[in-house]
Structure 1
Amino acid sequence: MDTHTIHETTIIEKEYVDTHHVENFVENFAKVYYSWEQSDKSIDNRMESLKGYLTDELQALNVDTVRKDIPVSSSVRGFQIWTVEPTGDNEFNVTYSVDQLITEGENTKTVHSAYIVSVYVDGSGNMVLVKNPTITNIPKKSSYKPKAIESEGTVDSITTNEINEFLTTFFKLYPTATASELSYYVNDGILKPIGKEYIFQELVNPIHNRKDNQVTVSLTVEYIDQQTKATQVSQFDLVLEKNGSNWKIIE
């Protein structure tokens, strides 16, 4: 009797879900929710407008969230959506941050906060918030530090000077070069024309390492942007190869 083991491979394709409508709904809600003036009418108008976003239960929950006896006004100065996550059952969890300008008497201050809400989308595409803005956090700067690229001493000084001269010539031309002009320096498609008025300043700390008959170069290139007058700093990781007496960027 022969026994065969059958291995099945399941490929799960991630379905793309367009969430722009959800994002727009939450942003419009936030502009209403976090904005009010120091007047009874403004606070009443805010509650009336919130009916277009909240379930009846959440409307009741928010009746006294902004009190008329406290002389404070708020306006939205910044808003950003961080994540939109489908949770099943036609619901999406949306995490966002908001910057409010708070005015109390003659004093003003900016308050930055982050919240998460849940939005239900029905079969017709209509939406309603089913979870009140709940305090949360947003990503902070990571402590990750990429490993620094170092020279292994595999490229001699003559070759290093040749490559630096080649790259200086190339990067002077690069901002305004056409595709045909680039083809003398770069393999097709590696670096595309950018058509910008940048003035080349210098190569910064190019690091050369040999890889078989090729040389890898990691470097920073500084330009002056003619329009903004700011220094434009770009970083490149290139692979160069010499054909005859000419160098060319191949990767």
Structure 2
Amino acid sequence: MNFIKRENKETKSKTKKIKVYKVNTHKKAVIALWMLLIASFCFAVYKNFTAINIKTVHETKIIDKEIIDTHKIENFVKNFAKDYYTWQPSQASIDSRNEAIKKYLTDELQTLNVDTIRRDIPTSSAVQNVEIWSVKQDGEKQFKVIFTVDLAITEGESKKDIQSSYEVLVYVDDSSGNMVIIKNPTICSIPSKSSYQPKAKESDGTVDAATTGEINGFLKTFFKLYPTATEKELSYYVKDNALKPIGKDYVFAELLNPIYTKKGNQIEVSVSVKYIDQQTKATQISQFDLTIKKENNWMITE
């Protein structure tokens, strides 16, 4: 018995109690974390209800160009030019001119032009033609007009024709459409002949001599018929109305400088055709750029 008791005591003494640690839920750090979490949640809910939906809208703005009728401006300037550039070497004619141009000029310009034609002027002027070259808007209600005037100038027994170019500025009322010239005729230039020279077309050797002979024969036959041919007659040579009847009394003379270039199964033709106009008896040379193709026979397709 003593043995057993001793063993139990030793066993009890060897058994250790397991310590249990309790987490203190009231520590400041834990509280702060909870408060942060709650605040974040509340802020997310608030943003959800108050957020503004942002949508990107791509707008295409179409600007319609207003077509301005400039006929009245052109007529106004033409009538002004006829009165302004017409005079005789007499006081009555000069007074009549000065009175006439009051219908077109501002008061300031009328004063400016009082002495442009002097009492002792040795010439007389007659307007042969007025041609408007351009009318461009220059400001909200102003238009810049460039025109030429052809004059017949007489001085004693001498007569000569001259042409001059001028620029004026015309103001147009929105409501009434009334006009007044606010800039005196000012010398300027007009477009002249350009120095541009298009590149000359040349045969590139893609069409052999036999085919060239065939095409020459076809074109001569066609162009002899073409001036007086009906639509039905043309249909034997022309596809899809590529050329339409012209109904002219022309007599075919010859082909000039035909140039042929092969493109796939078609041939591009550049040719000048000389005709004699039976009404005027003058030579008429027409230039054609055609596309032809051989099916059962040669046909003009374009």
Does TM, normalized by the shorter one, top 0.5?
A: yes
Residue of structure 1 equivalent to 2:293: 241
| Long gaps (5+) in structure 2 | 1-55
CA contact (8 A) 2:89 2:120 kept: no
Q: How does 1:123-162 map to 2 (within 5 A)?
A: 123-162=175-214
How many residues align structurally?
247
The one-letter amino acid paired with 1:198 is Y
| Structure with the larger RCO, 1 or 2 (CA within 8 Å, 6+ apart) | 1
Residue of structure 1 equivalent to 2:237: 185
Provide the secondary structure at the position in 1 that maps to 2:247: coil
Change (3 A) 1:163 1:10: farther
More strand by share: 1
Q: Does 1:30 align with 2:74?
A: no
The TM-score normalised by the length of structure 1 is: 0.91
Q: Cα RMSD (Å) of the superposition?
A: 1.9
Residue of structure 1 equivalent to 2:132: 81
| Deviation digits for residues 200-249 of structure 1 (CA, Å, limit 9, x no counterpart) | 111111001101111011011111112211111111111111112x1111
Q: How does 1:11-22 map to 2 (within 5 A)?
A: 13-22=64-73
The alpha-carbon deviation at position 14 of structure 1 amounts to: 4.1
The alpha-carbon deviation at position 180 of structure 1 amounts to: 2.2
Residue of structure 2 equivalent to 1:164: 216
Q: Distance in 2 between matches of 1:88 and 1:194?
A: 46
Identify which range, 116-125 or 219-228, moves more after superposition. 116-125
Q: Distance in 2 between matches of 1:88 and 1:9?
A: 27
Change (3 A) 1:69 1:172: same
The one-letter amino acid paired with 1:61 is L
Identify which range, 13-22 or 151-160, moves more after superposition. 13-22
Provide the secondary structure at the position in 2 that maps to 1:51: helix
More helix by share: 2
Change (3 A) 1:8 1:213: farther
Q: Which structure's CA Rg is the greater one? A: 2
Q: Which residue of the other structure, out of 95, 99, 116, is the alignment partner of 1:48?
A: 99
Q: Which residue of the other structure, out of 147, 152, 161, is the alignment partner of 1:110?
A: 161
Q: Does 1:91 align with 2:91?
A: no
| Long gaps (5+) in structure 1 | none
The alpha-carbon deviation at position 6 of structure 1 amounts to: 8.9
| Deviation digits for residues 105-153 of structure 1 (CA, Å, limit 9, x no counterpart) | 1222222211111112222222221111111101111110000000001
Residue of structure 2 equivalent to 1:63: 114
Q: Does 1:224 align with 2:276?
A: yes
Change (3 A) 1:145 1:163: same
Sequence identity percentage: 64
Q: Distance in 1 between matches of 2:59 and 2:292?
A: 44
Q: Which residue of the other structure, out of 92, 95, 100, is the alignment partner of 2:151?
A: 100
The one-letter amino acid paired with 1:152 is D
The alpha-carbon deviation at position 102 of structure 1 amounts to: 1.4
The alpha-carbon deviation at position 250 of structure 1 amounts to: 1.0
